[in-house]
A and B are shown apart, each in its own frame.
Chain A
Amino acid sequence: MLHAAAMHIYLDYNATTPVDREVLEAMLPCFAENFGNASSIHSCGQRGRSAVDAARDSVAALIGAKPAEIVFTSGGTEADNLALFGAVAASHRSRKHMITTAIEHHAVLNAAQALEKQGIAVTYVAVGSDGVVDPQDIRRALKPETILISVMHANNELGTIQPIEKIGRIAAEADVYFHCDAVQSAGKVPLQVEGLGVNLLSISAHKIYGPKGVGALYVRAGTSIEPQFQGGHHERDRRPGTENVPGIVGFGKAAELAEINREADTAGIEILRDRLEEALTRVLPAVRVNGNGSRRVANTTNLTFAGAGGEALVIALDLQGISCSTGAACSSGAVEPSHVLLAIGLSPDEARSSLRFSLGRGTTSEEIDRTIAIIPRTVERLRALSPRALNAVHAR
């Protein structure tokens, strides 16, 4: 059954991406040579400051923002937390309500649940089986005390793109802050904050071939948020802490490259993704593409292999040199099936039989061919050994 893995095929770019060589080269001098503290007065610190400023320009350019609107953070999770807790804390209303969706990343969902414990009312808007939220459902969830809407741009598990522009208009009409978690869409679709109509937007470097441990929150001019850490006056009093100069510089370079490479990246990747989907659904019975038919980012596919346990399938594929995942990396090892897949109507068993493949800049046609060759026999082996597999396959 198993064959020595001649090459390693990485199909988990939504979990993280390798650091681009150019990004790495931009970062390296910032460790031991230009090591200055960007907040220091002396020339050594000033070099750090100008490197951070240049990176801020690049990150701002990626999303069509002004540099002053960029707050660097330790990553997407901190950006989401700063957006939610920061916006809620900045509101002086006596009763507060926020709206989000059932398919958000845990960085938003768990932050919303923590806010609920503080007495903030939260509405979790359901999504359709297509993995897309209906803007009218967001509108219907509005209350007089609503202060914030938070909806992700591209879903990390399905790749489905949410109608952010429409929700942005609804938020503007209602005079409600609008936060968008764009961690999975940055570099994959054009991101222009003006068009999206957002007040707050989270992005992360390591999803766009930058380093881990750095992200940013876009805070539109005039939008007030309370800092969530206490400390110095960094990031215009919105996020204290010595700037992570190497990380920020890497983020800046990654943002530049994402803008340059986006079209070249996505067109080729979409062809490969579609070929993978087409082949697997043709060769194997009882395979479903989740979120199919919706607008999706080009690199992501989420497939249910009825009757094949996702955890065992991920391991079996890894032993054959293919890296993929059962869902969000942050949920790996969890008992509960993916909340995203449940939200689009899958049963717990179906959700546990689903895998996410996410392609990237390094994915080759040869790798996809090999993946198409390996997956069917691996799934068939699992199904042959799974007590419930036959029913699951025949029920379709």
Chain B
Amino acid sequence: MPNQRVQLEPFCGSADTRHSTQATVAEAPAIAEPSGHRGDTRGVAHVAVAMSGGVDSSTVAAMMSASGRQIVGLTMQLWNQRRLPQLQSAEPVQHRCCSMDDVYDARRVAEHLRIPFYVVNFEREFEKNVIRPFVDEYLEGRTPIPCTLCNNHVKFDQLLLTARQIGAERMATGHYARVRHNPESGRYELLRAVDESKDQSYFLFGLTQEQLARTDFPLGELSKGEVREIARRLQVPVAEKPESQEICFVPTGNYVRFIESYLHEQGRRLPEEAGDIVTTAGEMLGQHNGLHRYTVGQRKGLGISEGRPMYVVALDRAKNRLVVGEDRELRSTTCGVRDVNWIPYAVPEGLVRAKVRIRNRHEPADAEITAVGFTDARIVFDEPQRAVTPGQAAVFYSGERVLGGGWIR
């Protein structure tokens, strides 16, 4: 059954563009070419650049290299596509995280810039911290964001550690966001990107003070157009579009097949396949074929005809039931969040007024947030919000600042 999802767009932003064989060179570089043999630049790497092979992180590397910074490029090998060959598409796929093509692109950029470059293997860490939770969340009836898990537990954890171990004190990435040190509070703050259309702060809410202190987001002040202009000017050899909207390890976008193939590989069975589709009043409308195929807010592909638009309102894992209802039933005023990370301050006392984004690209909504213990929070929206989806992140904003965020229960 084809899966139609609401606008969740769970892509991370390390995913950006791929090169075509014809890199456009608009003009001669305004900044002098890095000189000397590649070996000459080795030695004092102050900053590691997380390079995905896409234009954003490649441009970061080019900008820092051109400004004379000593950098080292690191590319993460996260997932072995050969493990689930049944997922390989016959068609060339736009972007495949961890494919040899992306490593090749990143290496090509590093060679062009004459910077030291290494591929580090985090397949074990990625599987443990991203793939398995991703699969398990779906099986629990939630809709996870693997990119945030990867940021929290792999990229800004393991990769940053590797960067420090090899002598770089800081790490730069191609994310569109900003970090600022607040001298009054002594804390590091996470800010939205200047280019609101590219802002990726939603995926970064989990970064700790220690992580923020060592992170550079050189693209946060720039627009996508400016980045592309810089990429051309510095002759970054990954060119022209397109951007990925997919989860990196599910290049075809068919996450249902990924989950089923992964469970098969692991010798695990899908828990209870078919079950009932019921209304919020308990009226039975039909059968679903596995809760992991659905997400809250979904309308198409339910296989029911009610004469009025019906949406997935909840996934009842305990009874293996898919609960559907009308649009108004999709709206809720409150939600709880877990594993909350507060950024400009420690756990606040009392009410916090903020704008809350409940999915990427969601227009942040006014709300009041109350911390519950050290790890949880309760959100009360001023206006009911549509499709508050368990497993997604609720991220709190005050103006350009990210106050924090947590996972929707």
Contact = CB atoms under 8 A, between A and B. Distances in A.
A334 interface: yes
Given A2-B45, A3-B44, A5-B39, A312 B166 contact: yes
Contact of B120 (A311, A319, A320, A334): A311
Given A333-B77, A333-B121, A382-B165, A320 B116 contact: no
Contacts of B118: 315, 318
Interface centre among A2, A313, A382 (most CB of B within 10 A): A2
Nearest to A312: B165
A312 B120 CA distance: 8
Contacts of B44: 2-4
A3 B167 CA distance: 10
A341 to B, nearest CB: 17
Contacts of A333: 77, 119, 121
Nearest to A321: B42
Nearest to A308: B165
A335 B98 CA distance: 14
Given A315-B118, A333-B77, A321 B166 contact: no
B330 interface: no
Interface in B11-69: 39, 42-45
Contact of B43 (A321, A335, A385, A386): A321
Interface string A1-20: 11111001000000000000
A316 interface: yes
A172 B42 CA distance: 54
Given A312-B165, A315-B166, A2 B43 contact: yes
B164 interface: yes
Contacts of A385: 161, 164-165
B110 interface: no
A36 interface: no
Contacts of A4: 42-44
A126 to B, nearest CB: 25
A95 interface: no
A381 interface: yes
A386 B162 CA distance: 9
B121 A334 contact: yes
Nearest to B70: A2
Contacts of B164: 385
Nearest to B169: A1
A75 interface: no
Contacts of B195: none
Contact of A5 (B43, B72, B123): B43
A319 B80 CA distance: 27
Contact of B124 (A3, A313, A316, A335): A335
B165 A319 contact: no
Nearest to A335: B123
A335 B83 CA distance: 13
Residue with the greatest number of chain B CB neighbours at <10 A, chosen from A315, A316, A320, A385: A315
Nearest to A4: B43
B39 A8 contact: yes
A3 B42 CA distance: 9
A211 interface: no
A381 B164 CA distance: 9
Interface string A312-334: 11011011110000000000011
Nearest to B120: A311
Interface string A363-381: 0000000000000000001
Of B45, B72, B167, the most chain A CB neighbours within 10 A belong to B167
Contact of A381 (B39, B42, B116, B167): B167
Interface residues of A, number: 23
Contacts of B39: 5, 8
A9 to B, nearest CB: 12
A288 B327 CA distance: 66
A185 to B, nearest CB: 30
Interface in A1-47: 1-5, 8
A319 B167 CA distance: 9
A3 B165 contact: no
Interface in A254-293: none
A1 B165 contact: no
A252 interface: no
Contacts of A168: none
Nearest to A311: B120
Interface in B181-206: none
A76 interface: no
B72 to A, nearest CB: 7
A8 B116 CA distance: 14
B114 to A, nearest CB: 14
A316 B165 contact: yes
Contacts of B45: 2, 319
A2 B119 contact: no
B251 to A, nearest CB: 20
Interface string B168-180: 0000000000000
Contacts of A197: none
Interface in A343-389: 381-382, 385-386
A354 to B, nearest CB: 16
Contacts of A3: 43-44
Contacts of A247: none
A352 to B, nearest CB: 10
A312 B162 contact: yes
Interface in B92-125: 116, 118-121, 123-124
Nearest to A309: B165
Contact of A335 (B72, B119, B121, B161): B121
Contacts of A319: 42-43, 45, 72, 116, 166-167
Contacts of B165: 309, 312-313, 316, 381-382, 385-386
Contacts of A321: 42-43
A321 B118 CA distance: 14
B336 to A, nearest CB: 31
Interface string B76-96: 010010000000000000000
Given A315-B120, A319-B72, A335-B80, 12 more contacts: A2-B167, A309-B162, A312-B120, A315-B72, A315-B162, A316-B165, A319-B42, A319-B116, A319-B166, A320-B42, A321-B43, A333-B119
27 contacts: A2-B43, A2-B44, A2-B167, A5-B39, A8-B39, A309-B162, A309-B165, A311-B120, A312-B162, A312-B165, A312-B166, A315-B72, A315-B162, A315-B166, A316-B166, A320-B43, A321-B42, A321-B43, A333-B119, A334-B121, A335-B80, A335-B121, A335-B123, A385-B161, A385-B164, A386-B161, A386-B165
User: Which 10 pairs from chain A and chain B are nearest by CB?
Assistant: A4-B43, A2-B167, A312-B165, A316-B166, A1-B167, A315-B166, A335-B123, A382-B165, A315-B118, A5-B43
